[in-house]
Amino acid sequence: MTLSNIILSPLSGAVIGYFTNWLAIKMLFRPHREVRVLGIKMPFTPGLIPKERLRLADKVSEVISKHLLTKEALAESFSKPEIMEKIKDGIKNFLCALSKDERTLAEILNGSEFFASGLEVLERKLEEITESFINSRDFEAMLSKWAEGLTGRIEGETRTFREIIPADWASSVKSQVGKNATQVAELICGFLENNSSLDEALKEALGNVIANNLGGFVNLFVNKEKVYANIKESLLEYLRNPEKQVDLVFKITSMMEKALDTNVSELYAKIPDTVKDGAINKTIGFAQLELGGFLGKADYFKKKLLEIKIGVLVSKIPDGKLENAAAYLADIAGKLIQKGALYAAEAIDVAKLTKDQINALDLAESEEIVISVAKRELNAITYLGGVLGFIIGIIPVLTELFIG
- DSSP per residue over 228-280, as a string? HHHHHHHHHHHHT-HHHHHHHHHHHHHHHHHHHTSBHHHHHHHS-HHHHHHHH
Beta bridge partners of 36: 41
Q: Which of 242, 269, 298 marks a domain boundary? A: 298
Question: Which structural domain range is residue 55 located in?
Answer: 3-80+337-403
Q: How far apart are CA 404 and CA 332, in angstroms?
A: 85
**126 found inside a domain:** no
Given a contact cutoff of 8 angstroms between Cβ atoms, the answer to whether 159 and 265 are in contact is no
Residue 64 has pLDDT above 70, yes or no: yes
Judgement on whether residues 143 and 25 belong to the same structural domain of the protein:
no
Highest mean pLDDT among 69-78, 127-136, 176-185: 176-185
Q: In this structure, is residue 314 part of a structural domain?
A: no
Supply the DSSP symbol for 80: S
294 and 161 in one domain? yes
Cα 300 from Cα 123, distance rounded (Å): 12
Task: Verify that 287 and 391 share a domain, yes or no.
Answer: no
Q: Please tell me which residue, 167 or 21, carries the higher pLDDT value.
A: 21
Indicate if the pLDDT at residue 214 is higher than 60.
no
Most confident range (mean pLDDT) of 158-172, 255-269, 374-388 is 374-388
Cβ neighbors of 141 (< 8 A, separation 6 or more) are: none
What is the structure's pLDDT at 136? 77
Q: What is the pLDDT of residue 87?
A: 80
Helix (H, G, I), strand (E, B) or coil at 104: strand
Cα 272 to chain centroid, rounded: 50
| 341 and 289 in a common domain | no
Is residue 268 domain-shared with residue 343, that is, in the same domain? no
Query: Do 284 and 353 belong to one domain?
Result: no
In tens, the pLDDT along 154-210 reads 888 888 888 888 878 878 888 888 888 888 888 888 877 877 776 777 777 767 766
Q: Which residues contact residue 246 at a Cβ distance below 8 angstroms, ignoring those fewer than 6 apart?
A: 181
Average pLDDT over residues 258-280: 79
Tell me: do 180 and 242 sit in the same domain.
Answer: yes
Q: For the chain, how many structural domains are there in total?
A: 2
Residue 117 lies in a domain: no
Single out the residue in 238, 272, 298 at which a domain terminates: 298
Domain annotation covers residue 306: no
Same domain for 258 and 352: no
Question: What pairs with residue 104 in β-bridges?
Answer: 309
Same domain, 348 and 288: no
Looking at residue 110, its pLDDT comes to 67
- Going by pLDDT thresholds of 50, 70 and 90, the confidence category of residue 45 is confident
279 and 382 belong to one structural domain: no
| Residues 286 and 345 reside in one and the same domain | no
Residue 166 belongs to some domain of the structure: yes
pLDDT of residue 219: 54
Q: Is residue 305 situated within a structural domain?
A: no
Are residues 162 and 52 part of one domain? no
Query: Quick check: is 330 in a domain?
Result: no
- What phi and psi, each to the nearest 5 degrees, are found at residue 195? -130, 95
Q: What is the SS3 assignment for 393?
A: helix
